[in-house]
Amino acid sequence: MTCKTLLVHVDDSTHSAARTEFALELARRYDAHLIGLYVVCQELTRPIFLHGEGVWIATQEAQRDTNLKSAQAHFLAAAGRAGLSSVEWRAPAGPAADSAVLHARHADLLILGERDPEDPSSYIARHFVEDVVMSSGRPAIVLPYAGAVHTFAENVLVAWDGSRESARALADALPVIRHAKFVTVVTVQTSPASGEPAGIDVAAWLERHNIQAGFATAPRVAGVSAGALLLNMLTDRHIDLVVMGAYGHTRVQERLLGGVTQTMLQSMTVPVLMSH
């Protein structure tokens, strides 16, 4: 896979500008075409009216149009400052996740943002990111809402569990991690060790792609989830990108019982490249 078409999610949130700047930098790095896709949730809660509902609807539509034009102007201005000419603006109608999925299928890599529950200007459904990742068939880099991204894909952690999803994610990540300084394949031990470490074959496969990688096994700790173990390793190892499969279990199961995907989507501290 090569990254020749990138798609970045643009909305009215306070984090949209940083997401755009990140996407522009990636487009410059890969000499790629960048699509700015503006989608926001259209289902705003209506107050109970006795009179004047028509005026309220007209006001909301006018505000949406103003927001869209402002987002478009900021996106194109940022692209101009970055010196990129191969950019495109799209603002499709319809449900946010459905529209994003349809447009994402024509891109090589998506740039999305972790949902900030404290941002009142973010009108995106709670499960927008996971719905796009699960349904688009494309890898996505999800950026954390907390903190700036200072380095990217220099020190990479591959969360490997031997699943189809983790294999897909690692294959999708090859063009992104090709020039990383350090790549570590990490498995979380779920049973007593037997034979060679699970990451050794993955590291050998990466080496045949001219990517030098080490491998490590994180022993399970009673009462600590696999997701929490991985999060703890990010700071210890100065990781600036996690590569992982999304939802090896069903989404319903992970939402109810928890899982690595849910942990990362709710508590990520560095960018995460996900595939399903």
Per-residue pLDDT of 132-141, as tens digits, reads: 999 999 999 9
Q: Span 10-31, mean pLDDT?
A: 95
Positions of E strands within the chain? 5-10, 33-38, 87-90, 109-113, 140-143, 155-159, 182-189, 214-219, 241-245, 272-275
Greatest mean pLDDT range, 115-119, 192-196, 240-244 = 240-244
What pLDDT shows up at residue 146?
Answer: 87
128 versus 192: the higher-pLDDT residue is 128
235 versus 100: the higher-pLDDT residue is 100
Q: Residue 1: which pLDDT band, with cuts at 50, 70 and 90?
A: low
Same CATH fold assignment for domains 5-143 and 155-270: yes
pLDDT digits (tens, 9 = 90+) for 164-184: 999 999 999 999 999 999 999
What pLDDT shows up at residue 235?
Answer: 86
- Whether the CB-CB separation of 141 and 129 falls below 8 Å is answered with no
Q: What top-level class would CATH report for the domain 5-143? A: alpha beta
What pLDDT shows up at residue 157?
Answer: 97
- The mean predicted confidence, pLDDT, of the chain is 87
What pLDDT shows up at residue 4?
Answer: 95
Residues 197, 184: Cα–Cα separation, whole Å: 13
Domain range annotation of the chain: 5-143, 155-270
Does residue 6 carry a pLDDT above 90?
Answer: yes
Q: What top-level class would CATH report for the domain 155-270? A: alpha beta
Global confidence as pTM: 0.88
Residues ≥6 apart with Cβ < 8 Å to 44: 60, 123
Does residue 258 carry a pLDDT above 50?
Answer: no
pLDDT digits (tens, 9 = 90+) for 80-133: 999 998 999 999 988 889 999 999 999 999 999 998 888 876 666 778 999 999
Q: Span 43-60, mean pLDDT?
A: 63
Residues 159, 188: Cα–Cα separation, whole Å: 8
